[in-house]
Amino acid sequence: MKQSPSQIVEHTASETQVSPPWSATTKIVVIIFGVVILGAIVLRFQDVIAPLVVACLIAYVLAPVVNFVNAHTRISRGLVTAAIYLLAFGLLTLAASLLTPLLVRQTLSIQFDFQQISNTVGEFLSQPLQIGGQSIDLSPVYDELTSTLTNLVQPLATQTVALLAGVVSTVIEVIFIGLVSFYLTKDGPAMGQQLVAWAPPDLRYDFERLQKELGALWRAFFRGQLLLALTMGLTVGVLMTAVGMKNALILGILAFFLEFLPSVGHGIWLTVAIPLALFQGSTWIPLSNSWVAALVLGIHLVLQQVDINYLIPRIVGRQVDLHPMVVIIGIIVGGMLGGVLGMLLAAPTIASAIVLARYVRSKLLDLPPWLGEPGDPDEDLANTASS
């Protein structure tokens, strides 16, 4: 049967009909619903967040090496990643096998020193304190302190099952981190391209610029901070060995990790090193323990100035240029929210938030979001000053 022209038009329209766009209300509802679901997932699986962050950091450090080898050879990226991970694992195993015996000896030395300190404190508190002709007996204070420490230590000896469970959990977590970081390193470029493809077409340029800017910031912090920590850890370890500190290796390793805590790491190191120097002195320098502690303090103050004024600007750069008060507050808040990992990542996280806030502010005020673009207030001010 012959169709009328109106029927032909309706049939053609039904064949070429596309999915209708969502209304503004629908988009808002979907976004809110998605944020709620994402928040619920994060709260439910918050124990997995820290291992995931560690896996991302490991992949972030090893990815440039894999990229370089993959770009200069014909070997597949998967094989290059596997080789790099095996090499890194071998180096870590070798370092652990070489350092563990020395670390155990130095740790036992610290425990012996603490025993001497306990005896010294006990002798001091066992003698009455004379104030204004009155005698105060301090022995109950020492007895209470000893009882409290005993109550803290005794449960540790009976929690064998809990300790074994913790070891198993740690092994599983290490395996999880290794697998996730391996696949992030192997498939990182493809994942980055997929993220760019997910961005709306009109925002894709801004997304790529933000990705590059944040990537440069985190590279400047993490890889630069790693090199800086290695430099400070080795320097402190060598100098403490030269001074004659019994626990020089432990102090060097402590300086390595505390270098990731800007503005507060040096103070924490001193609170550990000065008491050790006061109670154990030097193994070869013929000075009293007080003078050894003063020597350690002087050496570290010089290293701190070299670190702040020379090493940080040249190794880490000015990408993470934050006021010390902002960094200290960020470390405290990061420790409250994310523990040690939150403290370590406080500075780059704050710097990343500042980059995003600057972008949002520029878009809200209809200003160019990128430095150097026409209309950028900073660029216009610089051109005016130069002319």
pLDDT score, position 121: 62
pLDDT tens digits, 365-384: 888 887 666 555 554 544 54
Q: How confident is the model at residue 44 (pLDDT cuts 50, 70, 90)?
A: confident
Q: How confident is the model at residue 311 (pLDDT cuts 50, 70, 90)?
A: confident
pLDDT tens digits, 177-211: 999 999 999 998 888 888 888 888 888 889 888 98
Contact 184, 59 (CB under 8 A): yes
pLDDT score, position 385: 44
Q: Taking 80 as the threshold, does the pLDDT of residue 324 lie above it?
A: no
Write down the domain spans for the chain. Answer: 48-100+161-198
Question: Which helix (H) or strand (E) covers residue 130, if one does?
Answer: strand 129-131
- The candidate with the shortest Cα–Cα distance to 223, out of 54, 56, 61, is 61
The CA-atom distances, in angstroms, between 268 and each of 98, 241, 263, 328 are 27, 20, 10, 13
**pLDDT above 90: percentage of residues in the chain:** 28
Measure the CA–CA gap between 337 and 17, rounded to whole angstroms.
Answer: 50
Measure the CA–CA gap between 353 and 253, rounded to whole angstroms.
Answer: 31
The answer to pTM > 0.95 is no
pLDDT score, position 384: 46
Contact 277, 294 (CB under 8 A): no
Q: Taking 80 as the threshold, does the pLDDT of residue 262 lie above it?
A: no
pLDDT score, position 260: 86
Winning range, highest mean pLDDT, from 137-141, 198-202, 210-214, 297-301: 297-301
Q: What is the DSSP letter of 190?
A: H
Whole-number average pLDDT of the chain: 81
Q: Taking 90 as the threshold, does the pLDDT of residue 13 lie above it?
A: no
**pLDDT above 70: percentage of residues in the chain:** 75
